[in-house]
Structure 1
Amino acid sequence: MTAVKETRPRGARRWAIDLRPLRVPVYRRIWVGNSVAMLGFQFTAVAVPVEMFALTRDSFWVGLLGVAAFLPLLVFGLWGGAVADARDRRAVLLVSQAVLWASMVGLLAQAVFRVGSPVLLLVLVALQSVGFAVSGAARTASIPRLVPAELVPAASTLNFTTHTAASVLGPLLAGLIFAAWEVGVALPIAYGVDTVFFTAAVWATLRMPALPPEPDPDGDGSPRRAGLASVVDGLRYLATTPVLLLSFAIDLIAMVLAMPRALFPEIAEERFGGGAAVGWLFSAIAIGSMLGGLTSGWIGRLHRQGVALVCAVVGWGLAIAAAGLARQLWLVVGLLAVAGAADLVSAVLRQTMLLVHAPDRMRGRLQGVNTVVVAGGPRLGDLRAGTMAAGFGTGVAWVGGGLAAAVLAVLLVAVFPALVRYRAGVDTAARP
């Protein structure tokens, strides 16, 4: 790894995002490649639910996209993490990216030929979820091997911030596409952009060094296996690490109960007249996350990280609930942006805790669990929101979910206070 000197002035260090990881060439290439690919993925993230709603006219079917994505995440997120600990992480990335690319080509083809099958959409989303689950675990677990340990929080923040920046620009551009063309024309354009942009991520992975498993200081030198026993070993480690376990639990509460994403196509059409409004709704949370990331210098100085994590989750739930009550598009976008800023703080703190305290031999498996929670939680949230909207209406599904998330987060840490007692620099997370 390349040594990185501290040269930032104190004023900039206090608030501005830390860019020092970009001085490490291999990390810089990965950052660029993944940022471009993520921008393309946002076109698909908007296009798939829009296509599903256009085919079915039912938010319940949009919510089923969450199920189609979550089940592969649950299985392949855990298994992929074990593979990332047992195999060269660069090779794991290349194979999983091939699966992702296949799903993108499938989405493009069904849109071009206007197949019009909701079931096929569910299948292709499931395939995409398989590739995402494995690649996410391998990519994130590689970060501590590519940058110095003191830059891991900064690298995590950069990843989240550029991800959210892409999540802002991508849906807005997708919204313009859907405003300019009818759905049948806009869908192939959106899927095509994603397919082309993903080449940047493949290029970055090809330029990575090999990352074979590090020797296990407590092992006998035999090769690691990526089977069920390895997955169980990782889960056992997590179960004996209360702070990490609680950090996953509180994130699941926030995402499952308060994620309103499945309601966006219906709300955009019925409340705001359709068109570009759907792009603004899909971008709003990411706008807040991006702004939060650009002013994230203070996060690295937090010592009561557990308390900050809980406050961020409660703030997320309350802001989501308030957004559900708003009737002006600008106000909904603003409140969702506040929720997004809170989510950025929560995500950075959880990722930092995990990468800093977990040993390298466990990082892949724990990142697999993290992938299941971080990516699977919102998809379960899609199902929850779509199902509630079908039974009780979009208002109850949106506002009620946000309030429930805030209340349950407080109750969780009241019953299990280990998380609020956690402080940075105190190795409580690593002890069984």
Structure 2
Amino acid sequence: MSQDPVEAAGQVTGEAVQEHRRSWVIDVRPLRGTAYRRMWVGNGVAYFGFQFTAVAVPVEMFSITRSSAWVGLLGIAALVPLLVFGLWGGAAADVVDRRKLLLASSTLAWVATAGLLAQALLALHNPWVLLALTAVQSAGFAVSSPARQAIIPRIVPAGLVPAANTLAYTTTTAGGVLGPLAAGLIFGVWSTDAGVTIAYAVDALLFTISFWATYRLPPIPPVHDDGVTAKPTAGLRGIADGLRFLVSQPVLLLSFAVDIVAMVLAMPRALFPEIAEDRFGGGSAVGWLFAAIAIGSVLGGLTSGWIGRIKRQGVALVLAVVGWGIAVGLAGLAHSLWLMVLLLAVGGAADLVSAVYRQSILQTFAPDRLRGRLQGVFTVVVAGGPRLGDLRAGATADVAGPTASWAGGGFAAAGLAVVLALSFPALLRYRPPAPAEDNR
């Protein structure tokens, strides 16, 4: 069967796939493809800008309410749109041109950022406004994320999908380092009111670069080349088709399950404003805490040349989740800022490994006709889990204190991940398909 023209235009040649150097240095071969390179630049800039908002919103919420439980509610405000629009956005990505869908949904997210800037300039100081704008922003992300991830296997060859995912995660987490640190500097120099205004303005400005990069992508229409004659839909029937495929794949289900455990029980993000103020005196400490996990992910990504060579990817995924939980649990007990940052960075490196394997397993399992829908489920799990984690962490902290909420959640996640893996060993037995196999 002839190759999709989009793939032919954007792919690295088959010969390049055979040139893999056995090195620990990050594999950059996917950047030889023009389409992937543009998408990589756009995503990196957008994520860097978003980090200013990701720090500013919880800081502003805690400043208004003085409650970590209210900060945790931001997770619920983001979760509900994720559940609805993540599944619908994934189904839409299998029906319409993925580039056009990405442009439209990214615009919606930018409108929400502009709204955050406006409410800061007007000094509304209303927690309900923050919750509402967070929900709108989450809806834009929920639609754009499945389209963005479903594009990757169309513009790089199957053998380079893990490398492409590693590059994407490493670059976005580099933004996750620099963005929070820059935001922390802003809050260290300016007052909270001025700091949040500047942070929202930076995010809104940088979005224009991301939008330009997405606009320059080639058309990526849906393809159906596996003998399936039923026309896909973006409605309930289309979503149900994706879910039916998912429940027939225990490896995918288990990869989702361990991620939910890791994020719901061990994500301490909602506690960062309170811990930064109570233990470390506020100021730039909050920026370091928000950046710490991403610092580890960047370092893990820069030394990730080995990731694509691992054959027991299921085992590696479980070990990474366990490492994440233990590192987060120990960090919650630390009373030195730099020790806490170090332990969170170790967790971040483990999280990068688990994220790459989860994404790569999904992309190699799914045929292109279902890839958007499964990416929609993936978005709900991957983005929804941390938001449930925000709620759990904030609510538990108000009852048992931030230390018990943080450390207890980390250790519980590590233990439950082991129990799941041993109880349902399909994930532990998983090995990736041979490079010659292509599920597109």
Per the TM superposition, whether the score is higher than 0.5 is yes
Instruction: Answer yes or no: is 1:43 the counterpart of 2:52.
Output: yes
User: Which whole-Å CA distance do the structure 1 matches of 2:194 and 2:115 have between them?
Assistant: 16
Task: Write the distance in 2 (CA, Å) between the matches of 1:426 and 1:13.
Answer: 17
Q: Partner residue of 1:170?
A: 179
Deviating above 3 A after TM superposition, structure 1's stretches of 4 or more consecutive aligned residues are 2-10
Q: How does 1:295-334 map to 2 (within 5 A)?
A: 295-334=303-342
Residue 181 (structure 1) aligns with: 190
5+ long unaligned stretches in structure 2: 1-7
Task: Choose from 380, 395, 403 the match for 2:403.
Answer: 395
How many angstroms apart in 1 are the aligned matches of 2:401 and 2:73?
Answer: 17
Q: Cα distance, 1:8 vs. partner?
A: 10
Q: Alpha-carbon deviations, 1:265-314, whole Å to 9, x = none?
A: 00000000000000000000000000000000011110111111100000
Separation in 2, partners of 1:160, 1:208: 20
Which structure 2 residues correspond to residues 352-371 of structure 1 after superposition, within 5 A?
Answer: 352-371=360-379
Give the letter for the 1:49 counterpart. P
TM-score for the superposition, normalised by structure 2: 0.95
Q: Distance in 1 between matches of 2:412 and 2:228?
A: 45
CA contact 1:164–1:290 (8 Å) conserved in 2: yes
Aligned to 1:233: 241
SS at structure 1 position matched to 2:432: coil
Query: What is the TM-score of this pair, normalised by structure 1?
Result: 0.96
State the partner residue of 1:294.
302
Show the counterpart of 1:122.
131
1:245 alignment counterpart:
253
Maintained 8 Å contact 1:34/1:200 = no
**Structure 1 match to 2:37:** 28
Out of 144, 157, 162, the position equivalent to 1:148 is 157
Q: Does 1:62 align with 2:71?
A: yes
Structure 1 equivalent of residue 267 of structure 2: 259
- What secondary structure does 2:94 align onto? helix
Pick from 104, 112, 115 the counterpart of residue 113 of structure 2: 104
Question: Retained in 1: the 8 A contact 2:17–2:160?
Answer: no
**Amino acid corresponding to residue 116 of structure 1 in structure 2:** H
| 1:215 Cα offset (Å) | 2.2
Structure 1 match to 2:23: 14
Q: Does 1:113 align with 2:125?
A: no
Amino acid at match of 2:303: T
Mapped to 2, the partners of 1:399 and 1:194 lie a distance apart of 32
Q: Deviations over 1:7-31 (max 9, x none)?
A: 9987x64200011111111111111
Equivalences, count: 428
Determine the C-alpha separation between the residues in 1 that align with 2:18 and 2:91: 38
Aligned partner of 1:380 in structure 2 is 388
Which residue of structure 1 aligns with residue 207 of structure 2? 198
1:426 is displaced (CA, Å) by 6.7
Q: Deviations over 1:96-153 (max 9, x none)?
A: 0111111011000000111111000000000000000110000110111111222111
Match of 1:351, as an amino acid? Answer: Q
Q: Cα RMSD between the aligned structures?
A: 1.7
For the 8 Å contact 2:180–2:288, the answer to whether it is kept is: yes
Give the distance between the partners of 1:420 and 1:200, measured in 2 at CA. Answer: 41
Q: In 1, Cα distance between the equivalents of 2:409 and 2:60? A: 25
Residue 78 (1) aligns with residue 87 (2): yes
State whether residues 12 and 30 of structure 2, in contact with CA within 8 Å, keep that contact through their aligned partners in structure 1: no
By how many angstroms is 1:204 displaced? 1.2
**Which whole-Å CA distance do the structure 2 matches of 1:212 and 1:425 have between them?**
26
Which of 203, 206, 228 is 1:219 aligned to? Answer: 228
1:419 alignment counterpart: 427
1:92 is aligned with what amino acid? Answer: L
Could you tell me how far apart the structure 2 residues matched to 1:310 and 1:261 are?
22
Give CA-to-partner distance per residue, 1:164-192, whole Å, 9 cap, x none.
10000000000000000001111110000
Matches of 2:162 and 2:325, distance apart in 1: 25
**1:6, distance to aligned residue in structure 2 (A):** 3.6
The percentage of counterpart residues that share the same residue type is 64
Residue equivalent to 2:102: 93
Structure 1 residue 217: deviation in Å? 2.9
CA distance in 2, matches of 1:217, 1:28: 28
The one-letter code of the counterpart of 2:127 is: P
Task: Confirm or deny: 8 A CA contact 1:85 1:213 kept in the other structure.
Answer: yes
Deviation string for 1:19-77 (max 9, x for gaps)? 11111111111111111111000000000000000000000000000000011001100
Amino acid at match of 1:274: G
Distance between the aligned counterparts of 1:81 and 1:153, measured in 2? 21
Of 348-357 and 334-343, the range deviating more from structure 2: 348-357
